[in-house]
């Protein structure tokens, strides 16, 4: 159902000319930050390009923060923030992304896989294999002031799991991250962006405060936050177009999803 009565009223100009003032905050999705030479899934952005993108955001009055901070600020009516998320917990976050974030005064949410510490992205059938954060490195990410969230234990399509397996992926990953960082994570991110009502309900039951999707469509809610995938190709004009598109699509208030029970799966990466 439509949630924002001011949106798309016939005869009135588009309401999202200043997208960062929208009611649905903007959250960007990154994965790996390193050299982009071999990148069949388009999940890698170079450190230099990340810096350019953060500069572009700052030029528009937006500073990158983790999703928990973004949600709190948004609820308090504070604007001028954009969510930065890094999925899969690639080890390059510490060496490549973190220094760039610091230069730009940003923080971020890193969604890690505590069931694959020090492993690789085996779930991608094509290479290249990219190392994942070890347990000690996850601790360092938290110690650096970043929000650590859960991407489940093993990067599985949660809609295909039994209730018991689903509970293990959500509850156990939360416990493990809590043991590592001393803070039970507030955020969960659906592997592949895939979820349905059963999965998002399990995330809520596990104690998380929000869930990140990619393109949740009508299932949009606090447990299915839309995000925008950012690629190496995204520079000023392309980012502006993505910002505007997000504002037009997701001006709705979180929690106003439809009753559709079909899984939402993004066509984009991972
Ligand atoms: Zn992922």
Question: For all residues of the chain together, what is the average pLDDT?
Answer: 86
- pLDDT per position as a tens digit, 79-99: 999 999 999 999 999 999 999
Residue 24 has a pLDDT of 78
Say what the pLDDT of residue 32 is.
Answer: 97
| Full 3-state SS string of the chain | CCCCCCCCCCCCCCCCCCHHHCCCCCEEEECEECCCCCCCCCCEECHHHHHHHHHHHHHCCCEEECHHHHHHHHHCCCCCEEEEEEECCECHHHHHHHHHHHHCCCCCEEEECCCCCCCECCCCCCCCCCEECCHHHHHHHHHCCCEEEECCCCCCCHHHCCHHHHHHHHHHHHHHHHHHHCCCCCEEECHHHCECHHHHHHHHHCCCCEEECCCCHHHCECCEECCEECCCCCCHHHHHHHHHHHHHHCCCCCCCCCCCCCCECCCCCC
Each residue of 28-72: pLDDT tens digit? Answer: 999 999 998 888 888 999 999 999 999 999 999 999 999 999 999
Q: Does 1 map to a domain?
A: no
Provide the CATH number for the domain around residue 70.
Answer: 3.20.20.370
pLDDT for the residue 233: 86
Output the CA 67–ligand 1 centroid distance in Å: 16
Which tops the pLDDT comparison, 36 or 145? 145
Give residue 106 CA to ligand 1 midpoint distance, Å: 22
Give domain status of residue 270, yes or no: no
How remote is the CA of residue 270 from the centroid of ligand 1, in Å? 5
Statement: residue 255 has pLDDT above 90: no
pLDDT of residue 22: 57
Say how many domains are in the chain.
1
* Residue 88 counted as domain residue: yes
Residue 166 CA, chain-centre distance (Å), reads: 20
- Kindly state whether residue 117 falls inside one of the protein's structural domains: yes
> What average pLDDT does the segment 211-230 reach?
94
Is 255 inside a domain boundary? no
Q: Ligand 1 centre from 265 Cα, in Å?
A: 12
The answer, yes or no, to whether residue 267 has pLDDT greater than 60, is no
For residue 93, is it within any domain?
Answer: yes
Is the pLDDT assigned to residue 13 strictly greater than 60? no
The domain in which residue 91 lies consists of 24-249
Closest CA to 241 of 40, 19, 1: 19
With pLDDT > 90 as the criterion, what percentage of the chain qualifies?
70
Q: Mean per-residue pLDDT for 224-239?
A: 88
Q: At what angle do helices 236-249 and 47-59 cross, to 10 degrees?
A: 60
Residues with CB under 5 A from ligand 1 (ion): 87-88, 191, 270
Model's pTM, two decimal places? Answer: 0.85
Q: Give domain status of residue 89, yes or no.
A: yes
Instruction: Report pLDDT for 221.
Output: 93
CA of 146 to the centre of ligand 1 (A): 18
The answer to whether residue 254 is domain-embedded is no
How far is ligand 1, taken at its centre, from the CA of residue 123, in Å?
A: 9
| Rounded mean pLDDT, 214-229 | 93
Quote the pLDDT of residue 258: 33
Question: Over 60: is that where the pLDDT of 14 sits?
Answer: no
């Amino acid at each position: 159902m439509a949630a924002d009565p001011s949106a798309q009223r016939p005869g009135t100009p588009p309401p999202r000319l200043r997208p960062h003032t929208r009611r649905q905050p903007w959250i960007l999705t990154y994965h790996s930050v390193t050299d982009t030479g071999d990148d069949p899934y388009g999940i890698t952005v170079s450190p230099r390009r990340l810096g350019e993108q953060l500069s572009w955001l700052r030029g528009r009055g937006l500073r990158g923060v983790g999703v928990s901070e973004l949600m709190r600020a948004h609820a308090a009516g504070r604007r001028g923030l954009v969510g930065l998320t890094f999925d899969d917990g690639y080890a390059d976050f510490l060496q490549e992304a973190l220094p760039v974030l610091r230069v730009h005064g940003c923080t971020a949410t890193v969604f890690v896989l505590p069931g694959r510490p020090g492993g690789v992205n085996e779930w991608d059938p094509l290479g290249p294999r990219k190392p994942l954060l070890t347990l000690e490195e996850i601790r360092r990410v938290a110690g650096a002031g970043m929000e650590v969230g859960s991407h489940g234990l093993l990067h599985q399509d949660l809609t295909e799991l039994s209730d018991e397996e689903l509970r293990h992926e959500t509850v156990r990953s939360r416990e493990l991250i809590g043991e590592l960082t001393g803070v039970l994570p507030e955020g969960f991110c659906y592997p592949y962006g895939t979820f349905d009502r059963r999965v998002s309900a399990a995330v809520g039951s596990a104690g998380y405060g929000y869930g990140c999707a990619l393109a949740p469509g009508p299932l949009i809610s606090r447990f299915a936050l839309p995000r925008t995938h950012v690629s190496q190709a995204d520079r000023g004009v392309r980012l502006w177009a993505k910002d505007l598109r997000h504002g037009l699509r997701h001006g709705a208030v979180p929690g106003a999803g439809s009753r559709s029970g079909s899984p939402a799966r993004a066509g984009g990466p991972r």
